[in-house]
Amino acid sequence: MSDTPNYMLKKLLLHSRNNSRLWAALVALCVGTTLLLLTVLIWWNFRELLYGKNQNDSLGSTFMIIGKKVTDQNMGVKNATVFTDADITEVKHAPQVQDVGVISSNQFPVYAMMGGNLAFATDLPLESVPDNFIDKLPKEWVWHPGDRELPIIVSAQFLDIYNYVFAPSQGLPQLSETSVKAIALNLKVGGPERYETVTARVVGFSDRIGSVLAPQSFIDYGNKKYGKPGVASTTSQLILKTGDPSDTKFTDYIQLHSYSTNSQNLRWSKMRAIVEVVTTATGVLALLLMGISTMVFILFIELTIARAQASLTLLMQIGYSPARLSKFMSSRFLPLVMGTLLASMLIAMVVQYVASVQAKAQQLTLPELPGWPVWAALVLSTLILVVLISRSVSGAIRR
Amino acid sequence: MRLSLQGVIPRPLREKVDTYTSGIWKSNVSLNRGDYVFVQAPSGTGKTTLVHILYGLRQDYDGQVQWDNTTLQKASEEELAQLRTNGVSVIFQDMRLFPELTAWENIDIKRQLTNTVTEQQATEWMQRLGIADKKNSPGATLSYGEQQRVAIIRALLQPFAWLLMDEPFSHLDHANIEKAITLIGEVVRQNNAGMLLADLDANTYFPYTKMILL
């Protein structure tokens, strides 16, 4: 026979609830929160694509190689694409540049040979960068004079050319990265009279270089021992360690000086500028929408409480404490808000999953679940809403 | 629980109070738990004002009202709620029921606040006062007499040290007054409580230990 006190409180305090207004406020809140979460999600995914740990490159994502563009005007001019000391100093002070390394190339003949089914022989250009410019330094990355094994990092494009162009046309098997790492390459270093042979093994791939990287110690050794006397070594490429290579200030600098680079980051930078504008605009819109919908929701709560003022006064007169009544009112409204936020998060999760599937189709890796900033945005907006609503409820009841 | 009033003057009655000697206004009064106090209050002397001041509903007065160590002017809403659920109960002259709740819900909403009286006992009290058949009628449809009996039962559903009554039987006939007096007397004794009844004319409803002229 006895009803719960909450049933009676509901009858007294919430009978005049106007549901259409409530739903409108909740839908607006849901749209606002979803937009906010999606903004964070897009921003985060873009970051993941740019700087994520999933990059398969032995040079890190913040390293890049630049050279001077060869143009019709400078193609015949001697040393036109050589970096002078002044150039190097200037690059050191460019935006986002943290360190500059000189790429040395071999001034001595290197001839690569391979036996068996894959028999071929070619001149091989070798380059080296200081070790601290290699982000994920392979553990085999050491060479001392006299060592028979030489670790090398090759351009990822070599493998692509082999797999997609060369191997099919020659009826040769395609090779995975792991199988390439197992292949030994014989290098004949030096001239016809004086030479030595080493066995080179691929220990990593990079799409930042156009050639083959060998340890600095090997290049120094070869240049000293087999280099042509009198030929001074010149610097035609630099490796840069950058804070954020997709920063537009940096990319503008690179373009202004007509430097060439094959870094993906540079290609991303234009897109990043667009994404930044879009996410900022969406973020502002989302915050605005959330602000307005929260205000509408709070006004709705205050209106509900104002309409029930007579009952509230009498309830307090018979001994119901304002704290208890606030708790009751909050317990009616907060689950609605929580449910709305949860719905927004579910939408964000679905979007992230779809994005990860789509990214996979494009050979990109994105996590299947939203990253922590999205969860943080959810937690933060939940906290703010809970505090605002609880405060407005207890404020309206004590008024 | 001790009730003390020190020089209390309701601001709206200030001019009138200055013209006569009141047993409460401007006086220092101290009442102890267990006292049965009758306040005789001719029209316009502030009978309802007094009950509302003692129950903490009004603040528009000078002087000080204390329930034990709680000074009403300084009490927070939470402290007042505590006082109204455990210390002091009231029967309002204007009943103050929720019109949208049934007679039973009006009783039950108070009963469940403190849970000191069982559902069965509350039902029995309704029977004793002759309103059991109105259990499911909305407060708005009850007659004044029925509303008054619901208000009486509601006031008895909590533990209290003092029961304040403002013309509690104004809408009841003699037979119903007798039944109400018996019930109130029983419950006040069970609680070892005091009572303060304010009415227009002298009466012998309860064995008063103090009579005060307002």
Query: Closest chain A residue to B87 measured between Cα atoms?
Result: A319
* pLDDT of B121 over the 60 cut: yes
* pLDDT of A36 over the 80 cut: yes
* pLDDT of A83 over the 60 cut: yes
Q: Is the minimum CB–CB distance between B52 and chain A shorter than 8 Å?
A: no
CB atoms inside a 10 Å sphere around CB A351:
18
Instruction: Give me the residue label for tokens 């190689």.
Output: A65
Q: Is the minimum CB–CB distance between B190 and chain A shorter than 8 Å?
A: no
Q: Which two tokens stand for residue B23?
A: 């047993």
Share of chain A above pLDDT 90, in %: 21
Which of B96, B108, B114 minimises the CB distance to A317?
B96
Please give the pLDDT value at position A57: 53
* pLDDT of A136 over the 70 cut: no
- Rounded to whole angstroms, the Cα distance separating B107 from B151 reads 8
If contacts are CB pairs under 8 Å, which of residues 5-34 in chain B contact chain A?
none
Cross-chain Cβ contact B101/A319 below 8 Å: no
- Rounded to whole angstroms, the Cα distance separating B82 from B56 reads 12
The more confident residue out of A280 and B147 is: B147
Q: Which of A194, A92, A208, A93 is nearest to A157 (CA)?
A: A208
Please give the pLDDT value at position A56: 47
3-state secondary structure of A139: coil
Report angle CA B181, B185, B191 to the nearest 5 degrees: 150
Task: State the average pLDDT for chain A.
Answer: 83
The more confident residue out of A283 and A229 is: A283
Rounded mean pLDDT of B11-16? 93
Amino acid letter, residue B136: N
Rounded mean pLDDT of B78-96? 95
Please give the pLDDT value at position B110: 95
Query: Closest chain A residue to B90 measured between Cα atoms?
Result: A318
Cross-chain Cβ contact B109/A8 below 8 Å: yes
Query: What is the per-residue DSSP string for B93-138?
Result: TT----TTSBHHHHHHHHHHHH--S-HHHHHHHHHHTT-GGGTTSB
Rounded to 5 degrees, φ, ψ at B2 are -105, 135
How far from each other are the two terminal CA atoms of chain B, in whole angstroms?
A: 22
Q: Chains A and B: how many Cβ contacts under 8 Å?
A: 62
Quick: pLDDT tens for B32-76: 999 999 999 988 899 999 999 999 999 999 999 999 999 999 999
Instruction: Please give the C-alpha separations between residue A112 and each of A187, A213, A368, in angstroms, as whole numbers.
Output: 5, 14, 44
Pairing of strands A184-190, A195-206: antiparallel
Q: Which two tokens stand for residue B47?
A: 């009978």
Which of B78, B96, B113 minimises the CB distance to A323?
B78
Q: Which two tokens stand for residue B93?
A: 């002259």
Quick: pLDDT tens for A194-211: 888 888 888 888 766 777
Which residues in chain B touch residue A3, judged by CB atoms under 8 angstroms apart? 105, 108
Quick: pLDDT tens for B202-211: 999 999 999 9
Buried b (16+ CB within 10 A) or exposed e, B58-84: beebebebbbeebebeebeeebbbebb
**CB within 8 A of A396, min separation 6: which ones?**
A301, A302, A305, A306
pLDDT tier at A316, thresholds 50, 70, 90: very high
Rounded mean pLDDT of B26-35? 94
Rounded to 5 degrees, φ, ψ at A340 are -65, -45
Cross-chain Cβ contact B77/A322 below 8 Å: yes
Which residues in chain B touch residue A319, judged by CB atoms under 8 angstroms apart? 81, 84-85, 110, 113-114, 158
* pLDDT of A3 over the 70 cut: no
Which of A4, A5, A319 minimises the CB distance to B158?
A319
* A45 phi-psi bin (left φ>0, alpha ψ -120 to 50, beta other): alpha
Which residues in chain A touch residue B110, judged by CB atoms under 8 angstroms apart? 318-319
Cross-chain Cβ contact B108/A314 below 8 Å: no
Cross-chain Cβ contact B119/A4 below 8 Å: no
- Rounded to whole angstroms, the Cα distance separating A89 from A312 reads 76
A237: enclosing H helix or E strand: strand A237-242
Q: Is the minimum CB–CB distance between B203 and chain A shorter than 8 Å?
A: no
Rounded mean pLDDT of A354-374? 86
Quick: pLDDT tens for A367-386: 899 989 999 999 999 999 99
Share of chain B above pLDDT 90, in %: 95
The more confident residue out of A245 and A376 is: A376
Rounded to 5 degrees, φ, ψ at A382 are -65, -50
Residues of A with CB under 8 A from a CB of B: 1-5, 8-9, 11-12, 15, 311, 314-324, 398
If contacts are CB pairs under 8 Å, which of residues 162-181 in chain B contact chain A?
none
**CB within 8 A of A90, min separation 6: which ones?**
none
Please give the pLDDT value at position A63: 72
Share of chain A above pLDDT 70, in %: 88
Mutate to test the interface with B, among A318, A321, A324, A399 (most CBs of B within 10 A): A318
Rounded to 5 degrees, φ, ψ at B60 are -85, 60
Question: Per the confidence metrics, is the pTM higher than 0.90?
Answer: no
Which residues in chain B touch residue A315, judged by CB atoms under 8 angstroms apart? 109
Instruction: Give me the residue label for tokens 């929408």.
Output: A289
**CB within 8 A of B5, min separation 6: which ones?**
B24, B27, B28, B29, B30, B63, B64, B65, B66
Please give the pLDDT value at position A115: 63
pLDDT tier at A21, thresholds 50, 70, 90: confident
pLDDT tier at A178, thresholds 50, 70, 90: confident
Quick: pLDDT tens for A46-76: 777 766 554 445 455 567 788 888 888 877 7
* pLDDT of A354 over the 90 cut: yes
